[in-house]
C-alpha cells in the first residue's frame, strides 16, 4: 500500500508542528498548511522537520476557495488525501463586554469555518476512496468554557458538534471523524496568557504541569491509524485531569 497522505492545518503552530512530526514518524507523507506570511517561522519549521517527509504549503483556512484549491492540489500531486487534521486556531481573549465584532469573527472564521472549509473539500475524495481520518483539534475550553473566551469556547464547542454530525454522515464509508480536546499545553498561545492567570491554571491541573505538544500529537497519531476505524464521533480529552478539578 502506498504511504498515507496527511494535511495538518495550523501545521507550523505549537501543536501542529508536533502533529506533523508524529505523523511523519508513523510513515505518513505530511503537508503542513499554514499562513505563508509567517516567513521566519516557516524557515524555522523547515529546519525542525528536516529529514522527515514533511513539507510546507501556504494556505489560509479561513478562505473557502483557498481550501478548495489546496485540497485539489494535494490530491493531484499525491493521488490521494487520507488524513486531515484541523489544528489551525487563534485566540482573541477578552470579556464579552469588551469584545469587538472583529474579535468574534476572526476566531469563528479560523477555528470553526476553517474546519468546515477543509472538510467540505477533503471529504469527497475520502468517501470515493473508502478511507479517511479527520481529527479536529478542539479544546478543554470548548467543554468547560473559559473566562474571556466566549468566542473561542463557542468555536471549540461548535467544532465537536460538527465532528459528531459529520462522523454520522461518513461512518459507513471508511471515514472517521473525531475531535481531540487539549488542555493547557506548552505553546505560544498559552504563554500569551498573563503569567498570574497561567500560574493559577497550572495549579488547578491535577497532573501539575502544562501538557507537551507531543502528548497531543500522540493522540492524533493514534486516531489516524488505519486500525482506528471503530473510533468515530468521539472527543478525546488530553488535559492532565483538568475535569477532576471542577
CA distances 59 to 1, 71, 240, 242, Å, are: 29, 10, 32, 33
Minimum CB separation of residue 183 from ligand CAA in Å reads 6
Our finding on whether 13 is near ligand CAA (CB under 6 A) is no
Q: Please work out the total of residues on this chain that contact ligand CAA, with binding judged by CB under 6 A.
A: 21
Task: Copy the grid coordinates of residue 7.
Answer: 494535511
CA distance 86 to 160: 12
Judged by CB under 6 A, the residue of 60, 117, 143, 149 near ligand CAA is: 149
Among candidates 182, 234, 233, which has minimal Cα distance to 211? 182
- For residue 178, report the phi and psi dihedrals to the nearest 5 degrees: -135, 160
Stretch that binds ligand CAA, among 57-65, 76-84, 107-115, 189-197 (CB under 6 A): 189-197
Our finding on whether 45 is near ligand CAA (CB under 6 A) is no
Our finding on whether 96 is near ligand CAA (CB under 6 A) is no
Q: Site residues for ligand CAA, window 164-183 (CB under 6 A)? A: 182-183
Judged by CB under 6 A, the residue of 36, 43, 95, 212 near ligand CAA is: 95
Compare residues 82 and 215 and give the one whose CB is closer to ligand CAA. Answer: 215
Stretch that binds ligand CAA, among 33-41, 43-51, 69-77, 93-101 (CB under 6 A): 93-101
Our finding on whether 56 is near ligand CAA (CB under 6 A) is no
Judged by CB under 6 A, the residue of 94, 144, 214, 235 near ligand CAA is: 94
Given a contact cutoff of 8 angstroms between Cβ atoms, the answer to whether 157 and 179 are in contact is no
Compare residues 128 and 191 and give the one whose CB is closer to ligand CAA. Answer: 191
Strand order in the sheet with 83-86: 54-58, 29-34, 5-9, 83-86, 132-137, 175-182, 235-238
CA distances 172 to 6, 62, 163, 177, Å, are: 21, 29, 15, 12
Our finding on whether 245 is near ligand CAA (CB under 6 A) is no
Our finding on whether 46 is near ligand CAA (CB under 6 A) is no
Our finding on whether 162 is near ligand CAA (CB under 6 A) is no
Our finding on whether 151 is near ligand CAA (CB under 6 A) is no
Q: Site residues for ligand CAA, window 104-133 (CB under 6 A)? A: none
C-alpha atoms less than 13 angstroms from C-alpha of 73 in its C-beta half-sphere: 13
Which residue has 464521533 as its cell numbers?
233
Compare residues 121 and 184 and give the one whose CB is closer to ligand CAA. Answer: 184
Catalytic positions, please? Answer: 152
Binding site for ligand CAA (CB under 6 A): 91, 93-95, 98, 139-141, 146-149, 152, 182-184, 189-190, 193-194, 197
Amino acid at each position: 500500500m502506498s504511504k498515507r497522505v496527511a494535511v495538518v492545518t495550523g501545521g507550523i503552530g505549537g501543536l501542529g508542528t508536533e502533529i506533523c512530526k508524529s505523523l511523519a514518524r508513523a510513515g505518513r507523507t505530511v503537508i503542513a498548511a499554514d499562513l505563508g506570511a509567517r516567513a521566519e517561522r516557516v524557515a524555522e519549521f523547515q529546519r525542525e522537520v528536516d529529514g522527515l517527509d514533511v513539507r510546507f504549503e501556504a494556505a489560509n483556512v479561513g478562505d473557502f476557495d483557498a481550501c478548495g484549491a489546496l485540497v485539489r492540489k494535494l490530491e493531484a500531486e499525491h493521488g490521494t488525501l487520507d488524513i486531515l487534521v484541523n489544528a489551525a486556531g487563534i485566540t482573541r481573549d477578552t470579556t464579552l463586554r469588551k469584545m469587538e465584532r472583529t474579535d468574534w469573527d476572526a476566531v469563528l472564521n479560523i477555528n470553526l469555518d476553517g474546519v468546515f472549509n477543509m472538510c467540505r473539500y477533503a471529504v469527497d475524495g475520502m468517501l470515493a476512496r473508502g478511507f479517511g481520518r479527520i481529527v479536529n483539534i478542539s479544546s478543554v475550553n470548548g467543554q468547560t468554557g473559559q473566562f474571556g473566551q466566549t468566542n473561542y469556547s463557542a468555536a471549540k464547542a461548535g467544532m465537536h458538534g460538527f465532528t459528531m454530525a459529520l462522523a454520522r454522515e461518513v461512518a459507513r464509508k471508511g471515514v472517521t471523524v473525531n475531535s481531540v480536546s487539549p488542555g493547557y499545553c506548552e505553546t505560544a498561545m498559552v504563554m500569551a496568557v498573563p503569567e498570574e492567570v497561567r500560574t493559577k491554571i497550572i495549579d488547578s491541573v491535577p497532573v501539575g504541569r502544562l501538557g507537551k505538544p507531543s502528548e497531543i500529537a500522540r493522540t492524533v497519531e493514534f486516531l489516524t491509524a488505519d486500525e482506528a476505524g471503530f473510533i468515530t464521533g468521539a472527543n478525546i480529552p488530553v488535559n492532565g485531569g483538568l475535569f477532576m478539578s471542577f
